[in-house]
Amino acid sequence: MLFHYHFWTPFIEDTEKFYVENGFRISLRTGKYQGDFQTFNPPLGWDDFREKDITFRIIEARRGP
């Protein structure tokens, strides 16, 4: 069983899409926007914030319960 790992990538949206296409759900997105950490959690999708200059810190993908 895999519990937790870190994956650094400049291709954040594509990496998230890969996990969703393979049965994961996105449960958390945290990033720094305009100097403050904020959340961009679902139901927000990439169309809601793609054009903003966000430095993502954590995107959590879960599979199972």
* Rounded-to-integer distance, Cα 43 and Cα 8, Å: 24
Q: What is the C-alpha separation between 51 and 31, in angstroms, rounded?
A: 14
The CB-side HSE value for 12 (13 A sphere, CA atoms) comes to 16
Give the count of domains, the chain. 1
pLDDT in tens, 48-61: 999 999 999 999 99
SS3 57: strand
Query: Is the residue at 42 inside a domain?
Result: yes
Instruction: State yes or no: pLDDT of 4 exceeds 80.
Output: no
Cα→Cα distances 14→11, 19, 34, 65, Å: 6, 9, 23, 24
pTM of the model: 0.85
- Chain centroid to Cα 15, Å, comes to 9
28-37 pLDDT, tens per residue? 999 999 999 9
Note whether residue 65 is domain-resident: no
Q: Is residue 4 domain-resident?
A: no
Q: Which domain holds residue 29?
A: 12-52
